[in-house]
Amino acid sequence: MVYFDNYYFNKYLFIQFDSTLGRFVGFNEYGMKLAAFWNNGSFLQEERAIVGWFCKSNAQEIDSHICDKSVKPKVKLSAAKWAGGRHPAVLMCSAYEFYPPHIKVSWLRDGKLMTSEVTSTMEMADGDWYYQIHSVLEYSPKSGEKISCMVEHASFNKPMIYDWDPSLPVSERNKITVGASGLVLGIITTAAGFIYYKKKSTGRILVPQ
């Protein structure tokens, strides 16, 4: 528990009480003179006492209402493009909008923990009390293996495991379906045009002039 009491003038910090140090610290000539004066008076004892009667008592009350609340992360697995990597496959496991910030993201291959070729970010604050984290795995795929992302968080009763599905995402399958449909339609249109042209050519009578 740390208590700071800061004093500013024109947005410039010139003196501060730091409960870790237990005294005032000045940041300019006037602040240092004032700190020396306050550190030898009754005001110092009052500031030291604030940590106990205000900070700790309020923290105990607030803790029971806030710190036991948790929000489950939204987890997404995706394939990522990675330039210059030593392995042909790169997967990313992302966890979004979770609270509290402490979380653990691991990779499993056929149920066994993978420790090499794994790169993870720190928990990043979204600015709205939620957090996100990303973990990248570079690996060489093998036939029949199962790659999974394991997420451990206070909002889960047990570690949650998300298996990677190597099949194409729905969006990619839709692109292929649309492209294939367009190709087939083009072939049918071309064939119909060619048949129509042949029929018209066959029914025509050539008259010599």
Which CATH number does the domain housing residue 25 bear? 3.10.320.10
| Alpha helices (runs of H) in the chain, residue ranges in sequence order | 29-38, 42-50, 57-66, 170-202
**Are residues 152 and 79 part of one domain?**
yes
* pLDDT for 101: 92
Q: Where among 44, 66, 88 does a domain terminate?
A: 66
Nearest Cα to 163, choosing from 118, 119, 110, 114? 110
**Are residues 103 and 25 part of one domain?**
no
**Are residues 85 and 9 part of one domain?**
no
**How many CB atoms neighbour CB 21 within 10 A?**
10
* pLDDT for 44: 94
**Are residues 154 and 79 part of one domain?**
yes
**Are residues 114 and 40 part of one domain?**
no
**Are residues 50 and 27 part of one domain?**
yes
Q: Where among 36, 66, 96 does a domain terminate?
A: 66
**pLDDT for residue 205 is more than 50:** no
Residues 98-145 pLDDT 10s: 998 999 999 999 999 988 888 888 899 988 889 999 999 988 888 889
Q: For residue 186, tell me if it sits in a domain.
A: no
Q: How confident is the model at residue 206 (pLDDT cuts 50, 70, 90)?
A: very low
- Say what the pTM is: 0.51
Domain count across the chain = 2
**Are residues 86 and 58 part of one domain?**
no
Q: For residue 54, tell me if it sits in a domain.
A: yes
Q: How confident is the model at residue 85 (pLDDT cuts 50, 70, 90)?
A: low
175 compared with 86, residue with greater pLDDT: 86
Percent of the chain with pLDDT over 90: 49
**Are residues 99 and 40 part of one domain?**
no
* Whole-angstrom distance, CA of residue 3 vs CA of residue 19: 5
**pLDDT for residue 6 is more than 60:** yes
Q: How confident is the model at residue 177 (pLDDT cuts 50, 70, 90)?
A: very low
173 compared with 195, residue with greater pLDDT: 195
**Are residues 137 and 58 part of one domain?**
no
Q: For residue 194, tell me if it sits in a domain.
A: no
**Are residues 153 and 83 part of one domain?**
yes
Nearest Cα to 152, choosing from 142, 161, 163? 161
Categorise residue 204: left if φ over 0, alpha if ψ from -120 to 50, beta otherwise: beta
* pLDDT for 69: 79
Domain that holds residue 104: 74-163
The CATH number that applies at residue 104 is 2.60.40.10
